[in-house]
Amino acid sequence: MANETEPILSVDEAQDRVLAAAGRPLPGVDVPLAEALGRVLAERIRSALDLPPWDNSSMDGFAVHADDVAAATPSEPVRLRVVGEVQAGGSPDLDVPAGCAVRIVTGARVPAATDAVVPVESTLREAQAGSPKSSFRAGEPIAEECLVAAAVASGAFIRHRGEDVRAGAVILEPGRRIGPAQIAMAAAVGAGVMRVHRRPVAGVLSTGDELRSAGQQLGESGIPDANRPGLLAMCRAAGAETVDLGIAADSLEAVLNVIRPAMERLDLLIVSGGVSVGPYDVVRSAFGEVGRVELWRVAVQPGKPFAFGRSQPRGVDGRQVLLFGLPGNPVSALVTFELFVKPALQRISGVTSPTLDSDRAVTEDRLAKASGRRGFLRVTVARDDLGNPVRDDRGRLRVRHSGGQGSHMLSAMASADALAIVPESIDRIEPGGEVEIRWLRT
Ligand code: AMP
Ligand code: MG
């Protein structure tokens, strides 16, 4: 188990070690398309079909022989005999002799005998009273003739079979979070289910004799447990299922009593508080009882006492449970979640290229922190009257402190748009200086 004489790891080293330990993505499960939103695709999807599956019209109009209308102009329209109609979903098994046309709607199959579509906008309505109109209104009978006022090239206004996707082609690669467009794509090629990674199950436990569940009587020296609701929400936002493990008192026994029976339901265990060097900081010992602490203390501000380990194989599917010990200060807990837990969650969720959400900004306030540690300061981004972030001519945002920067000062975290990242090598960035930021997305 790590001890106090071990060197402090850099943020990058700690992230690398956590990711290496996180292991392989969780196995795949099939879900219906309606349940696929936000899940991570576990398998390539190939198209079962050509898309479009057949040549179809891109316009409402008339399927024609392009040769027949080559000379058509508004002043000398070409008159064609309308020999039938193809509706969307209808069969185009029609004979269309030269000089003839078929009324067709958008998406309907183009009769094999024709080679172009004249949009209804390029046809004329006849003025003479009593004559059949070449109209195209809903419910109106098909006119016997149509007057084409513009030439069309062969192939015009036809969407060709397979021009979007060929049967057998890969349409979606694994490792991406599934959004609405991916669901539509899967449906369009005939897939009824998607194979996605099983969702990670994360247990969240708060430790501290002073903690009370939000809404409970606080008594003389109690404080509301802010971390557990916050961390549960962060897990869910990162696509995990959650198990609320409640609050444990500051004793090894109390912590073990909660985590031991919970282990086999979990892929991750996230404990906040009790991970520092105080006499009641029992979380690392608890991790040592169910597994091993693999790293402790990171050169980060806030969040230095962060601990990470793995259990013996005993989680869901007999995997090792990833053990995260986050500092109790609420800002530290949320920041170390962003830095270490979220990447691990994404890794086991199967995400192959997580979005980083970094940006560049100029600071209006002095951004100060201890040197030797990477600082993550809570900042707001300047916006215009419409609420859009303002950028200077070099594309940089403008940031300032969102509030007090103490690691217990949750108010600044709650109003922050982003974390401003101040490198280890310096202790401050002066106003006007440039800084990398990382957006906090909700
Ligand atoms: P610890 O890491 O246990 O030393 O706690 C550091 C600080 O964070 C103390 O002031 C705790 O009261 C506070 N703290 C610990 N856990 C929580 C929590 N779940 N919600 C709010 N504050 C907490
Ligand atoms: Mg404590």
CA–chain centroid gap for 80, Å, is 52
Of 132, 159, 186, the residue at which a domain comes to its end is: 159
Inter-CA distances, 343 with 17, 191, 300, 411, Å: 11, 30, 16, 25
Cis, bond preceding 52 (omega within 30 deg of 0): yes
**Cα 288 from Cα 114, distance rounded (Å):** 76
Contacts of 85 (CB under 8 A, 6+ apart): 102, 103, 104, 142
The pLDDT score that the predictor gives to residue 135 is 52
Ligand 1 proximity of 407 Cβ (cutoff 6 Å): no
**Cα 304 from Cα 297, distance rounded (Å):** 5
Q: What is the pLDDT along the chain (442 residues), one digit of tens a residue?
A: 445 556 799 999 999 999 999 999 999 999 999 999 999 999 999 999 999 999 999 999 999 999 999 999 999 999 999 999 999 888 778 899 999 999 999 999 999 999 999 999 999 876 544 444 445 666 677 788 999 999 999 999 999 999 999 999 999 999 999 999 999 999 999 899 999 999 999 999 999 999 999 889 999 999 999 999 999 999 999 999 999 999 999 999 999 999 999 999 999 999 999 999 889 899 999 999 999 999 999 999 999 999 999 999 988 888 999 999 999 999 999 999 999 999 999 999 999 988 779 999 999 999 999 999 999 999 999 999 999 999 999 999 999 999 999 999 999 999 999 999 999 999 999 999 999 999 998 6
Residue 142 located in a structural domain: yes
Ligand 1 proximity of 332 Cβ (cutoff 6 Å): no
Ligand 1 proximity of 420 Cβ (cutoff 6 Å): no
Ligand 1 proximity of 225 Cβ (cutoff 6 Å): yes
CA–chain centroid gap for 15, Å, is 21
Contacts of 286 (CB under 8 A, 6+ apart): 252, 255, 256, 259, 271
Ligand 1 proximity of 100 Cβ (cutoff 6 Å): no
Give the ligand 1 atom nearest the CA of 280. Answer: 3
Closest CA to 213 of 227, 224, 221: 224
Q: Whose CA is nearest to atom 5 of ligand 1?
A: 328
The pLDDT score that the predictor gives to residue 6 is 61
Ligand 1 proximity of 302 Cβ (cutoff 6 Å): no
The pLDDT score that the predictor gives to residue 442 is 67
DSSP letters along 52-93, please? SSS-EESSSEEEE-GGGGTT--SSSPEEEEEEEEE-TT----
The pLDDT score that the predictor gives to residue 413 is 96
221 shares its domain with 297: yes
The pLDDT score that the predictor gives to residue 314 is 85
CB 12 within 8 Å of CB 424 = no
Ligand 1 proximity of 325 Cβ (cutoff 6 Å): no
243 shares its domain with 306: yes
Q: Whose CA is nearest to atom 6 of ligand 1?
A: 328
256 shares its domain with 227: yes
Ligand 1 proximity of 227 Cβ (cutoff 6 Å): yes
Mutate to test the pocket of ligand 1, among 272, 304, 332, 413 (most ligand atoms within 8 A of CB): 272
Residue 4 located in a structural domain: no
Number of domains in the chain: 4
Residue 166 located in a structural domain: no
Ligand 1 proximity of 208 Cβ (cutoff 6 Å): yes
Ligand 1 proximity of 230 Cβ (cutoff 6 Å): no
369 shares its domain with 336: no
Ligand 1 proximity of 276 Cβ (cutoff 6 Å): yes
**Cα 282 from Cα 325, distance rounded (Å):** 10
* ∠ Cα 393 396 401 (to 5°): 135
Mutate to test the pocket of ligand 1, among 204, 211, 228, 251 (most ligand atoms within 8 A of CB): 211
Residue 273 located in a structural domain: yes
Residue 169 located in a structural domain: no
The torsion defined by the Cα of 308, 311, 314 and 316, in degrees rounded to 10, comes to: 0
229 shares its domain with 104: no
Kindly state the tokens that stand for 152.
Answer: 């069309």
68 shares its domain with 36: no
Ligand 1 proximity of 315 Cβ (cutoff 6 Å): no
Inter-CA distances, 119 with 62, 144, 289, Å: 6, 17, 75
Contacts of 386 (CB under 8 A, 6+ apart): none
The pLDDT score that the predictor gives to residue 129 is 41
Ligand nearest to the CA of 326: 1
Contacts of 166 (CB under 8 A, 6+ apart): 47, 50
Mutate to test the pocket of ligand 1, among 212, 213, 223 (most ligand atoms within 8 A of CB): 223
Query: Ligand 2 centre from 368 Cα, in Å?
Result: 26
Residue 252 located in a structural domain: yes
The CATH code of the domain that includes 304 is 3.40.980.10
323 shares its domain with 249: yes
Of 288, 314, 349, the residue at which a domain comes to its end is: 349
85 shares its domain with 223: no
The CATH code of the domain that includes 407 is 2.40.340.10
Residue 309 located in a structural domain: yes
245 shares its domain with 120: no
224 shares its domain with 265: yes
Closest CA to 157 of 182, 123, 206, 186: 123
Q: Exposed, middle or buried, 431 (CB in 10 Å: 0-12/13-18/19+)?
A: exposed
DSSP 360: E
Domain carrying residue 286: 11-27+199-349
344 shares its domain with 405: no
Give the ligand 1 atom nearest the CA of 305. Answer: 2
**Cα 317 from Cα 312, distance rounded (Å):** 12
Give the ligand 1 atom nearest the CA of 227. Answer: 19
420 shares its domain with 334: no
Residue 292 burial (CB count, 10 A) = 14
Ligand 1 proximity of 274 Cβ (cutoff 6 Å): yes
What's the predicted TM-score (pTM) here? 0.89
Exposure pattern of 328-351 as b/e (b: 16+ CB <10 Å)? bbbbbbbbbbbbbbbbbbbbbbbb
Residue 232 located in a structural domain: yes
Q: What is the pLDDT of residues 85-137, one digit of tens each?
A: 999 888 778 899 999 999 999 999 999 999 999 999 999 876 544 444 445 66
Tokens 């029992």 identify what position? Answer: 282
Query: Ligand 2 centre from 371 Cα, in Å?
Result: 26
Query: Ligand 2 centre from 377 Cα, in Å?
Result: 23
The pLDDT score that the predictor gives to residue 5 is 58
Ligand nearest to the CA of 329: 1
Ligand 1 proximity of 346 Cβ (cutoff 6 Å): no
